[in-house]
Amino acid sequence: MFTTIWAKSSHKKHLWLGAFYFLSTFSLLGQIPTYQFQTLSGVNPTAHPYIQKHLFGHQIAADFNLQVQLKTFDFPSKDSFKFQAEIYVDRDSILGPQLLYTYKSHFKTQGFKTKSGHWEEMAKLSSQSLKSQFAIWWKNNWDKDPKLIQEVRVEFLPDYAPKSVDEDTVFFGQKKLDWTDFKAKPYPGSRFAAQIFSNFEYHAIPRIERGILYLPIQVKVYMLRSFSWKKENLPDRALDHESTHFKITQQAANQFKDQIKQQKLRPLWYESELQWWFLDAYRWMNSTQKNYDEATQHGINLMEQEQWNGKFK
């Protein structure tokens, strides 16, 4: 912003830039939240009382308390004045203050004989300009800036399972496994009869609407044919063993979804929390797969195999 200020005689009127922003009292989700400037820090402490006087209003209960950091407040020459401030929001003690907005202005001053005699006047002009410009920014960005998200709403889409089967990937629920799905060559010297490669993952594409982050999540549970193998002439019970491995993977995915449904994800931490519960389900899957193989002796113990088949129907 660039503005010229002409100094007049001692009877001059004060110049006003911009307009005051009156805090709204909206606090419902989906409506414009309120804010207030709460703390000031930065360069030129001498000017801080003047800026606080004109920038900070009566402290009220607001949805967001903002911090102002003064970066530049100085007369680089007798004919100009520069002002720069950054506005931060601090919603989490670990993440700390996060930058929301940077404001810069350059005033041309004509006829100012001394700097010290105009500190308060420039503080008032700068503060009013900052308030009016930030009010515009807030109105246009409060509902889309990730740092201002007020709530996370999760929606689970049906698990990914297209009607047509891919050449290499079989998604859980597409078809019943058979030995033709095991296309890789057996590992040389392996003492096992077969091995399935199964896995699960999730995909989420967030969108922000009026301060609410909507998070549709879709889980994919699948086996890869090119990494799954078998030896020749195997009985059906061997296929049952591998199929239960696939069902354990599906159960891990269900546990992941159940955990998320029970949580209220925090706006600034939802990505980390999703990863946490995903890894927790993944650890459960790996541990259960290992326990399953040990208990059934990789399908040799028929009684144990029947019990595990019953657990994961």
pLDDT higher than threshold 80 for residue 56: yes
pLDDT higher than threshold 50 for residue 69: yes
Question: What does pLDDT average to over the chain?
Answer: 87
Contact 247, 177 (CB under 8 A): no
The pLDDT score that the predictor gives to residue 218 is 97
pLDDT digits (tens, 9 = 90+) for 171-180: 999 999 999 9
Residues of the chain with pLDDT > 70: what percent? 88
pLDDT higher than threshold 60 for residue 254: yes
Q: pLDDT higher for 190 or 60?
A: 190
pLDDT higher than threshold 70 for residue 297: yes
Question: What gap in Å lies between CA 96 and CA 160, rounded to an integer?
Answer: 38
Question: What gap in Å lies between CA 7 and CA 13, rounded to an integer?
Answer: 10
pLDDT digits (tens, 9 = 90+) for 133-160: 999 999 999 999 999 999 999 999 999 9
The domain locations on the chain are 2-148, 151-311
Query: What's the rounded mean pLDDT across residues 15-27?
Result: 30
Query: What's the rounded mean pLDDT across residues 256-262?
Result: 96
Question: What gap in Å lies between CA 215 and CA 96, rounded to an integer?
Answer: 24
pLDDT higher than threshold 90 for residue 226: yes
Q: Name the nearest CA neighbour of 203 among 269, 252, 274, 283.
A: 274
Banded model confidence at residue 112, pLDDT cuts 50, 70, 90: low
Residues of the chain with pLDDT > 90: what percent? 71
Banded model confidence at residue 167, pLDDT cuts 50, 70, 90: very high
The pLDDT score that the predictor gives to residue 12 is 30
Task: Give the pTM.
Answer: 0.79
Q: What is the CATH number of domain 2-148?
A: 3.30.160
